[in-house]
A and B are shown apart, each in its own frame.
Chain A
Amino acid sequence: MRQCLVIGSPNVGKTLLCLRLAQACGLKWAFIMHELPDGAVQERVLTIRDAMVTLVSPRRYTTVGIQTVGVGMSAAIGRRLVLHDSTGLSEESHDDALIRRGMARTLTLMVQTEQIVHVVDAAALDKGVLSPIDTLILEVSRERNVPYTLVFNKMDAPGAARQTELYRKRDRRTRPLMMSALRGQGVDDMQRVLSRTNVVN
């Protein structure tokens, strides 16, 4: 079973993206494993729709601890795959021990998983430049040399297209995969990426 980490800053749409993928793969139910701060693992089965309502939120840091979704999407994409949704990385709330634990788990997965999907809020870029943390996520993934995909999410939001254009002028090597998890656009591209083994963009 292939382990894939979905990483990024808080609130960029990681959770929604995971659920959209599960949905696109024909799953009606998401198996959600939520690691609690004390290390215990809580297991829940939700319909994808309920999961979207419960787990996707405009508040930062609803994903404290790791949620694993979409176990079993293997059938649809021809490979066994576990998506690990993760606690968003940011310096903010660095003083919250709970969130720090969550972020540490994210890094643990980052050095373990066999594939990394890096989600960025395209509309939040400044002059087409990735934030320092996002730049580092990209670099560490590259250094690890595992399949890595940069995803520009929220392409529906104002300014996203413009920022993407600026980004692509600066970095011709990386071709971000564009999507709107909100509208469900670009999900099939994502599915294709996950069904191949050695995609690096």
Chain B
Amino acid sequence: MQRTDPIIDQLARGQLSVQSSLEQLRHIYRRDAPRSRSGVMRFGAPQQDENALPARPLDAGVDPVAAKETLLRPLRSLIGLGEVKKTIDELYAHLAVQTLRRHMGLKADGTVLHMIFAGRPGTGKTTVARMLGPVFAALGVLTQGHVVEVERADLVGEYVGHTAQKTRALLDRAMGGVLFVDEAYALARGGDKDFGREAIDTLVKGMEDRSGSLIVILAGYEQEMSYFLSVNPGLSSRFPVHISFPDFTERELLLIASRLLEERQYRLSSDALSALRQRLRHERSRHDFGNGRTVRNVIERAMRRQALRVIRCAQPTRQDVMTLFAADFWEGDDHASMSGDWQSQRW
């Protein structure tokens, strides 16, 4: 409570005129003047006066509005994930405005930022989490912004008390950053007697004790996560930010693939593009489809095939070592279907 507050309050309520409010403010500063001037006051330097609200520097020295595009660039460069990007944009705007509000002396709410990332493997949950850490750090929400990635085995121990100990150690390691719990629903796997229960309790307790200094993200399949939340009442409210990571479309998978090829300095022969598309379409229909991860596997497998092919050439050219052919993408299991598609002109 500032001594200037009652004066300003009375103006707002119509109990003081503008002129008398200003006169009273002047009075307060005059009364304080001798004391504050006795210090090492520089001409024109901000006064270290308790009346002057401490003018807090922006937490991490970043201008949240000017820095927005720079900070979010890595996220924006991700392929697809429209809804994810939108949610993060909103979150960013909210946090940036809270930061500005604090600086304007307005109330800022201390938003709880623990999150659920729901989606199948390879949809970018880990990737996004790793990118969010530094963004939150720049906004002053986190002090470090590092991301500690864990899964059930890292949290759950082998004997009574072991789990709490392991979990607490990881919470400590994540202080000032993000604790990313992959396949978090697995913590509830073993039922009541399981140590997973203990891990959840320790996690929740730890989040409360360390409130405001770390962000916990629970990641996993959509359905498993909602089941997990439903059997752990109280968890939902502690993880208010829910972000869904949908499967990539065929087009997005292709874009991810071309990005990977470009990064690795490979290119596709004219027929290889169709083969890659066909391969991805086939993979996409499998129950264990791993989205971005599958794309990477497909590409890396093709690269190995190409290597075998190239090594048999007498004198490989630059072009030879760069180019992937259609055959590099063929797998034993789908020759038949591919040629069938070829005939029916599906690609």
Is B41 interfacial (CB 8 A cutoff)? yes
Query: CB-CB < 8 A to B22: which residues of A?
Result: 89, 107, 133, 136-137, 139-140
Instruction: State whether B11 touches A103 (Cβ < 8 A).
Output: yes
Residues of A within 8 A of B (CB): 1, 3, 31, 33, 35, 39, 41, 43, 66, 68, 71-72, 74-75, 80, 82, 84, 89-91, 94-95, 97, 100-101, 103-104, 107-114, 132-133, 136-137, 139-140, 143-147, 197-200
Chain B residue with Cβ nearest A146 = B46
With contacts A41-B97, A140-B25 taken as known, whether A3 is within 8 angstroms of B19 at the C-beta atoms is: no
* Residue among B14, B23, B33, B105 making CB contact with A97, cutoff 8 Å: B14
B93 is contacted by which of A1, A43, A71, A94 (Cβ under 8 Å)?
A43
Q: Which of B1-27 contact A (CB under 8 A)?
A: 2, 4, 7-9, 11-14, 17-19, 21-23, 25-26
Residue B66 interfacial (CB < 8 Å) = yes
Q: How far is the CA of A3 from the CA of B111 in the complex (A)?
A: 24
- Residue B106 CB within 8 A of the other chain: yes
How near does chain A come to B31, taking the closest CB pair, in angstroms? 10
CB distance from B325 to the nearest CB of A (A): 49
Write the B155-194 contact mask toward A (1 if CB under 8 angstroms, else 0).
Answer: 0000000000000000000000000000000000000000
Chain B neighbourhood of A101, CB < 8 A: 12
B51 interfacial contact with A, CB 8 Å: yes
**Shortest distance in angstroms between B55's beta carbon and chain A's nearest beta carbon?**
5
* Segment with Cβ contacts to A, from B57-65, B114-122, B336-344: B57-65
- Give Cα distance in the complex from A84 to B11, angstroms: 20
Chain A residue contacts of B33, Cβ below 8 A = 143
State the majority secondary structure of interface residues on B.
loop
- Tell me how many residues of B have a C-beta within 8 Å of chain A: 47
Check A144 against B100 for contact (C-beta < 8 Å).
Answer: no
Q: Please list 21 pairs of residues, one from A and one from B, whose beta carbons are closer than 8 Å in the complex, sorted by A's number.
A: A3-B55, A3-B103, A33-B100, A72-B63, A75-B66, A95-B14, A103-B12, A104-B8, A108-B8, A111-B25, A112-B52, A112-B105, A114-B46, A132-B19, A136-B23, A139-B26, A143-B29, A144-B49, A145-B41, A198-B44, A199-B44
**List of B residues within 8 angstroms of A33 by Cβ:** 97, 100
Count how many pairs of residues, one from A and one from B, have CB atoms less than 8 Å apart in the complex: 131
| Min CB–CB distance B14 → chain A (angstroms) | 6
Q: Are B44 and A200 in contact (CB under 8 A)?
A: yes
Enumerate chain A residues within 8 angstroms of B104, measured Cβ to Cβ: 3, 35, 66, 68, 84, 109, 112
- Chain B CB within 10 A, most for which of A66, A103, A199: A103
Please judge, given known A-B contacts A43-B97, A114-B55, whether A71 and B18 are in contact too, CB under 8 Å.
no
